[in-house]
Amino acid sequence: MAEITASQPIADKRKYERIKLFLPGHLFNPLTDQSTDCKVLNLSAGGAAVQCEAEFPAGLTLVLYIENFGRFEGKTIVHGTGQLALEFAIGEGKRTRLKEMIESFAADGVAGITKLRKHSRIPSLISGSITRENGENIFCDVLDISLDGVCLRTRVRPPVGEVVNLGRTRGRVIRHHPDGIAVQYVREVNRAA
């Protein structure tokens, strides 16, 4: 058996290549419906390391939202003072897309990621309201809109997962942000009677 010396680096056992970055993010805990700001320190197709003030136990499922990259569900696997590692629980399609985004970010920064976006986001200055499942109407401002969803400024934040009506369109609340909520449109399937 060969002995490892200082001149022989130990091979990195990681399955996916990591990229170092320092981007703002949000961690959402579905159990408590609470969100906290964080900084994403590194990212791979398998997980991320983040820095935040909140403490979370190992094995907890959290949702990490990274500006321009999207949202990723994962389990906490390590938590030290101010740092947390998440192992993503995502499908292969989303994992492949994340690999492409990481490569584009490494080559061109945020501009590379926005080129990959499926649907462009259009800034908006429209005001209106959404209707919650319980019938409550909530005043909101549309911050930006795309073919997939809408980002709203609102003081009232329905819980993540709740389906709301935006006029004749229905959408699911997918995350909270400092100014309000993000809603992803729900595609309804017509059922033949």
14 domain residue, yes or no = no
Given the structure tokens 């290549």, which residue do they identify? 17
Is 161 within a domain? yes
Same domain, yes or no, for 108 and 68?
yes
Indicate the residue type of 121.
R
Whether residues 127 and 62 share a domain: the answer is no
Local confidence band at 5 (pLDDT 50, 70, 90 cut-offs): very low
State whether 45 and 95 are in the same domain.
yes
Shared-domain flag, residues 131 and 84: no
37 and 103 inside one domain: yes
β-pairing verdict for 149-153 and 137-145: antiparallel
Mean pLDDT, the chain, whole residue set: 78
- 80 found inside a domain: yes
Q: Has residue 66 been placed in a domain? A: yes
**Cα torsion through 58, 60, 65, 69, rounded to 10:** 70
Average pLDDT over residues 155-159: 91
In this structure, the answer to whether residues 30 and 107 fall within a common structural domain is: yes
- What tens digit of pLDDT does each residue of 83-121 get? 889 999 988 888 888 888 888 777 766 655 555 455 455
